Amino acid sequence: MLSGIGEDPRLTGGKDFKLPKYTVKPLEEGDEYDIQCSAEELQLYLKKHNCIKVLKFPGVIGGHGSLLSKTDQGWKDNLARIKSGSGRGNTIKT
């Protein structure tokens, strides 16, 4: 999208734009491929190159390890103090 002065801020060092990535596939033969553009540019691209947009789920990266393993020693010491004063049958893991 153009700024008010007619320059594309993506090319002139303006704000760092994060454009979405789309997967497209030609209607004739051909493999799927990714392009990065705005939604308006995507519509023009699909018409010009006779392609369709392929719907995909976004990639999800799950966490590794427990939350307790990512905390600092001060928090672990605080949990140990709470556990020692909580009595029998407590469920606090340290």
Are 37 and 60 in contact by the 8 Å Cβ rule? The answer is no
The pLDDT value recorded for residue 31 is 94
In the predicted structure, residue 80 carries a pLDDT above the cut 50: yes
Range of the domain at 33: 21-54
Does 49 map to a domain? Answer: yes
In angstroms, what CA-CA distances link 26 with 33, 39, 51, 87? 9, 18, 4, 67
Does 63 map to a domain? Answer: no
Residue the block writes with tokens 């799927």:
32
pTM of the model: 0.46
Does 37 map to a domain? Answer: yes
The pLDDT value recorded for residue 63 is 67
User: Count of domains in the chain?
Assistant: 1
Does 9 map to a domain? Answer: no
Long-range Cβ contact pairs of 60-68 (< 8 A, separation 24 or more): 68/93, 68/94
Length of the chain measured in residues: 94
In the predicted structure, residue 6 carries a pLDDT above the cut 70: no
Does 91 map to a domain? Answer: no
Does 92 map to a domain? Answer: no
Does 14 map to a domain? Answer: no
The pLDDT value recorded for residue 25 is 95
Does 44 map to a domain? Answer: yes
